[in-house]
Amino acid sequence: MPKYAANITMLFQEHDFLDRFDAAGKAGFQFIEYMFPYPYDAVELRAKLDQNNQTQALFNLPAGDWAGGDRGIAVQPSRQDEFREGVGKAIDYAAVLYKGVQGPKLVNVLVGKAESDEATTRKTIIGNLQYAADKLADAGLTLIVEPLNPYDVPGFYLYGTQNTLDLIEEVGRENVKLQYDFYHMQRVEGHLTQTVRENLDKIAHIQLADVPGRHQPGTGEINYPFLLAELDRLGYGGYVGLEYIPEGRTEDTLGWLKDLQK
Active-site residue list: 146, 243
Comparing CA positions, the residue from 19, 21, 6 lying closest to residue 257 is 6
HEC states along 178-210? Answer: EEEEHHHHHHHCCCHHHHHHHHHHHEEEEEECC
Distance of CA 255 to the CA centre of its chain: 23
Q: How far apart are CA 177 and CA 205, in angstroms?
A: 8
Element (H, E) at 84: helix 80-97
If 0-12 CB within 10 Å is exposed, 13-18 middle and 19+ buried, where does residue 67 land? Answer: exposed
Rounded Cα distance, 255 and 34, in Å: 22
Q: Hey, is 159 helix, strand or coil?
A: strand
